[in-house]
Amino acid sequence: MQRYAFFAETAVETLAITTFNAIMFIIKQSKDLARYLQKQRSVKKTIGFIPTMGALHQGHLSLTKKAGEENGVVVCSIFVNPTQFNDLTDFELYPKTLESDILLLEKQGCDLLFLPDVAEIYPSGISPATAYELGYLESVLEGKYRPGHFQGVCQVMHRLMEIVRPDRLYLGQKDYQQCLVIGKLLELIQSPAEIIICPTLREPGGLAMSSRNLRLSAREKQNAQGIYEALSYISRNIKPGEVKGIAERAGALLIQKELTADYLTIARAEDLRIIDVWDGQTKAIALIAAFMGKVRLIDNMII
């Protein structure tokens, strides 16, 4: 790509893009990011932050748009974090689309892209220095099926929050359990940042937008819509009383679409305590993790 100009404030790899009549800085080192953001804070600008692992889609861009509406500066990061993958193959196959990611962020009006390497995020190595006390949240659903995953999420988010120090942190509802985990992390590290959870964006058939969708064939993507169909079935038909039966019927919809579920669960939205009997009043959420072929997809729907 021949669209970069060096931003001459430092000698490190700090870039500025000027296409589309806008400027988006690309910064690779935390010290330069801190210097830039301190200047913004000095003129009373608030910082909105969207952490990502790249392979961006309209769901990510909706977070960027929301952050731009509510803050003076929008920072997005792209970093594929090795410590949150308990499957090495999944890490190696994670989609990488940096050039298109840069274009999308620029068009959306992102002010700054933080693009660190592993050494920048983990200068002392990737071995965790802290064990985060996440309690029940780490024992169920994603915590159960992906041991160590949320410790890795907390490890990278702790570091990113120290570097960016945002006023507001923008996350997508698709990763609902992760949103709750990050909320717990902010309590543990006493961060004043406000978490904004934005709605899941979906493709025309209802499939939640996800970077992993890039690994699906056309047929697999069609079948993967069964996840949304199962969630919608629960939302339409759930009634006060035992919920085991409706979960089983929704699970049958997954099987019909060749999806293999890790879990299909109804839980309290507040804390993800599993619900066996619903009182009809408690805010609940249906959550699914299922494999389409070798690709693991997650989704949820508030009831």
State in words which class domain 4-198 has. alpha beta
Q: Residue 36 corresponds to which amino acid?
A: Y
Res. 7: pLDDT tops 60 = no
Exactly one of 57, 60, 149, 158 is catalytic; name it: 60
**Domain boundaries for CATH 3.30.1300.10 within the chain:** 211-302
Res. 3: pLDDT tops 70 = no
Beta strands in the chain (DSSP E): 4-6, 14-17, 24-27, 47-52, 73-78, 112-114, 168-172, 194-198, 241-242, 260-268, 277-278, 284-292, 295-302
Q: Is 60 a catalytic residue?
A: yes
| Mean pLDDT, range 73-86, rounded to an integer | 95
Res. 1: pLDDT tops 50 = no
pLDDT tens-digit readout, 101-116: 999 999 999 999 999 9
Lowest mean pLDDT among 46-60, 78-92, 95-109: 78-92
Cα separation, 164 vs 30, in Å, equals 8
Q: What is the CATH number of domain 211-302?
A: 3.30.1300.10
pLDDT tens-digit readout, 46-57: 999 999 999 999
pLDDT tens-digit readout, 139-186: 999 999 999 999 999 999 999 999 999 999 999 999 999 999 999 999
